[in-house]
Amino acid sequence: MKKSRLLFVVSPLLLLLVFVFTFLPAGASANSSAQFPDIIPLPDGFRPEGVVIGHGLTVFAGSLADGSIFKADLRTGEGDIFVEGQDGLLAVGLSYDGRSNNLFVAGGPGGDARVYDAGSGALLMSYQLATPGTVFINDTIVTREAVYFTDSFNPYFYRIPLKANGRFPDATEVEKIALGDDFIFVPGQFNANGIETSANDRYLIIVNSNTDTLYRVDPYSGEVLPIDLGDEVVTSGDGLVRQGNTLYVVRNFLNQIAVVELSDNFTSGKIVDRISSDTFRIPTTADQFGSSLYAVNARFDIQPPQPDTKYEIVRVRR
């Protein structure tokens, strides 16, 4: 008798659930992967390198061709040029500060860093970090206290201290910090590349693309410690993304993202997985949204770059 009454109570509930999930509007679940395209096309000839998730469902990609910035919607995959390019300008690594809604851009061989309003696209500030032609300002990461930039051609990184609510200072406050002696630097080669932070921003994590090594770096002194990965290395390491103690290392020419589980003190780690996809065409950097990683295909195998070459941002499960 109790069993029959239980069925009588549960059945209307099941009917209600069926009704809800049957007639739920398509936009009601932001985490439903079926609603987000796996490929976001970029303009032909765009030559992307950096990608970052901005406010809400916004994604940005930067161009090596002319420094332009592309902005798209993750849900629809639709987008357009957000910041117009200029001859001689490059946009390499990107980082986003949600407090100020500012977009930071590494300028490559121009030795510069730029700050854009991520809402309007207006250029807010430009920093000359180093002499043009002698550097390659490659990647960038924003923390609560500062924004950092790597230099692939010199054993330094650059720190721009931030004020309350992410406000940025004038050009006189840029700091040039030498990487410690344990950082293996080879002149004339691509060295420091992708950059991330550890938990609580206590350390930076930098990948050396020349030695295939990850380093834990003190953001103030520049002291470095190689992160011990046992018998493995991160060959072709490029952009970095961290979630907790999990570090995702984009391995460009391997068309792969290595998943590294790091120790609590970020001195060691283990590659526990490798994410691959038929959509990878030499991805360089990535960012995360929900359970997905968004990587940008640089297609460095096409040399010289062509104006009709197809480029895209691709989504994979992490």
pLDDT in tens, 170-191: 877 899 999 999 999 999 999 9
- Of 228, 256, 244, 222, nearest to 288 by C-alpha is 244
Q: Provide the number of structural domains found in the chain.
A: 1
Q: How far apart are CA 142 and CA 222, in angstroms?
A: 17
Is residue 161, in this structure, part of any structural domain at all?
yes
In whole angstroms, how large is the CA radius of gyration of the chain?
A: 22
**Tally of CB atoms within 10 A around 274:** 12
Tell me the pTM: 0.88
Identify the pLDDT of residue 34: 57
Q: How far apart are CA 207 and CA 187, in angstroms?
A: 16
Which CATH number is 208's domain given?
2.130.10.10
Q: How far apart are CA 216 and CA 37, in angstroms?
A: 35
Structure tokens at 316: 């994979």
Residue 131 phi, psi (nearest 5): -65, 130
Sequence-separated (6 or more) residues with CB below 8 Å from residue 5: none
- Of 183, 174, 43, nearest to 104 by C-alpha is 174
Is residue 6, in this structure, part of any structural domain at all?
no
The answer to whether the beta carbons of residues 17 and 23 sit under 8 Å apart is no
The conformation of residue 119, written as its DSSP 8-state character, comes to T
Handedness of CA 318, 146, 58, 125 (dihedral sign): negative
**Tally of CB atoms within 10 A around 228:** 13
Is residue 311, in this structure, part of any structural domain at all?
yes
Is residue 201, in this structure, part of any structural domain at all?
yes
Structure tokens at 305: 């770059």
* Structural domain span for residue 71: 32-317
Helix (H) or strand (E) holding 14: helix 2-23
Q: Please tell me the number of Cα atoms within 13 Å of 195 on its side-chain side.
A: 31
Helix (H) or strand (E) holding 15: helix 2-23
Identify the pLDDT of residue 255: 98
Amino acid at 165: N
Is residue 143, in this structure, part of any structural domain at all?
yes
The list of the chain residues with pLDDT below 70 reads 1-34
- Of 73, 74, 5, 66, nearest to 36 by C-alpha is 74
